[in-house]
């Protein structure tokens, strides 16, 4: 457990950013590692403590609140853990990102928002979401995370098990209506689990997270282009527009423009033919579905992908 926590905490600092953005990004990842430590047991925090105290990041932004609250589950928070103070000024996204956001918002505006019928609960959100994921995995352990409600952002991870790494989804960490949780878990988080299963490399923290969010968001875009379910379409479209807004307006992600932009620019690049870190066996079936959805639906003629 020590090696898992320390290794992931070190990987969290390997990000394509510097200064205040690097600090905020690293602390955000530490908060996600702290969730894993809380699941593994108090001893796992020893590895996280070692890296956090040696790295000496003093101000980590809003994510530091989650990090400190999770660390407090194992005893007093050591001196030297970052505070939630603003880590400093971070430049906003460039014109390429803003242009991609405008194009994606314009595409969303072409998708009708018809009346939604009654939403009936489903027993298994991940199984429901398989219709939207071209390479769905079922090798997942579901863990009840209700005791961490309000302390978790990302809830998919690999954790050490008795016979090797185990892919885990921590459920019940967010309160939301059934249809929204179904889409979050079955489509977005499910895509993350598929990506974990398809990758041999470490893609959970640091720069690897860009590929993970690129793939999950591309799955959402394809699902939005394909679905005829008005309730699902409404949640997916709202999610896309929220990802656009969070680049500059979200209290935590506005200090992370590189990461926040990947939800838009990375997903569009993947659907166009790019995106490093996403295995071919995931990329190609998803692109094929994107082409079919755009060709077969009158509401989807404009491409949200910036022209080159």
Residue 308 forms part of a structural domain: no
For residue 59 the two structure tokens come to 């101000």
Are 227 and 190 in contact, with CB atoms under 8 Å apart?
no
107 in the same domain as 68: no
223 in the same domain as 127: yes
The string of pLDDT tens digits covering residues 149-174 is 989 999 999 999 988 899 999 998 88
291 in the same domain as 157: yes
The pTM assigned to this predicted structure is 0.92
The string of pLDDT tens digits covering residues 105-147 is 999 999 887 776 777 888 899 999 999 999 999 999 999 999 9
Alpha-helical (H) ranges within 200-305 are 208-226, 230-249, 257-261, 267-272, 280-296
276 in the same domain as 219: yes
Domain count, the chain: 2
229 in the same domain as 103: yes
Residue 280 forms part of a structural domain: yes
**Concatenated DSSP letters of 46-102:** HHHHHHHHHHT--B--THHHHHHHHHGGGSSPPTTPPBSS---------HHHHHHHH
266 in the same domain as 229: yes
Residue 301 forms part of a structural domain: no
177 in the same domain as 35: no
Long-range own/partner contacts, residues 280-289 (CB < 8 A, 24 or more apart): 281/135, 281/198, 282/134, 282/135, 282/194, 282/195, 282/198, 282/215, 285/134, 285/135, 286/134, 286/215, 286/218, 286/219, 286/222, 289/134, 289/222, 289/226
The string of pLDDT tens digits covering residues 184-225 is 999 999 999 999 999 877 788 888 899 999 999 999 999 999
pLDDT for the residue 120: 82
Q: In angstroms, rounded to a whole number, what is the distance separating the alpha carbons of residues 24 and 204? A: 16
33 in the same domain as 104: no
Question: Which position has the higher pLDDT, 69 or 116?
Answer: 69
Residue 16 forms part of a structural domain: yes
């Amino acid at each position: 457990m020590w090696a898992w926590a320390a290794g992931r905490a070190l990987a969290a600092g390997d990000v394509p950013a510097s200064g205040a953005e690097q600090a905020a990004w690293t602390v955000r990842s530490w908060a996600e590692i702290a969730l894993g430590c809380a699941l593994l047991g108090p001893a796992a925090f020893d590895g996280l403590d070692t890296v956090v105290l040696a790295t000496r990041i003093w101000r980590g932004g809003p994510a530091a609140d989650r990090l400190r609250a999770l660390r407090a589950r194992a005893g007093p928070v050591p001196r030297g853990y970052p505070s939630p103070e603003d880590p400093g000024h971070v430049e906003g996204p460039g014109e390429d990102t803003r242009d991609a956001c405008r194009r994606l918002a314009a595409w969303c505006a072409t998708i009708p928002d018809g009346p939604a019928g009654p939403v009936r609960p489903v027993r298994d959100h991940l199984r429901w979401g398989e219709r939207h994921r071209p390479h769905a995995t079922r090798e997942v352990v579901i863990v009840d995370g209700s005791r961490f409600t309000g302390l978790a952002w990302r809830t998919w991870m690999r954790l050490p098990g008795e016979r090797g790494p185990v892919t885990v989804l921590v459920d019940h960490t967010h309160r939301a209506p059934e249809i929204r949780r179904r889409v979050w878990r079955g489509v977005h988080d499910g895509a993350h689990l598929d990506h974990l299963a398809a990758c041999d490399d470490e893609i959970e923290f640091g720069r690897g997270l860009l590929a993970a969010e690129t793939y999950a968001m591309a799955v959402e875009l394809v699902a939005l282009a394909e679905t005829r379910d008005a309730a699902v379409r409404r949640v997916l479209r709202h999610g896309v527009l929220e990802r656009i807004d969070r680049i500059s307006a979200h209290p935590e992600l506005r200090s992370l423009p590189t990461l926040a932009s990947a939800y838009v620019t990375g997903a569009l690049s993947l659907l166009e033919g790019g995106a490093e870190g996403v295995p071919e066996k995931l990329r190609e079936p998803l692109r094929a579905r994107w082409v079919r959805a755009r060709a077969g639906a009158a509401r989807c003629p404009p491409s949200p992908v910036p022209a080159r």
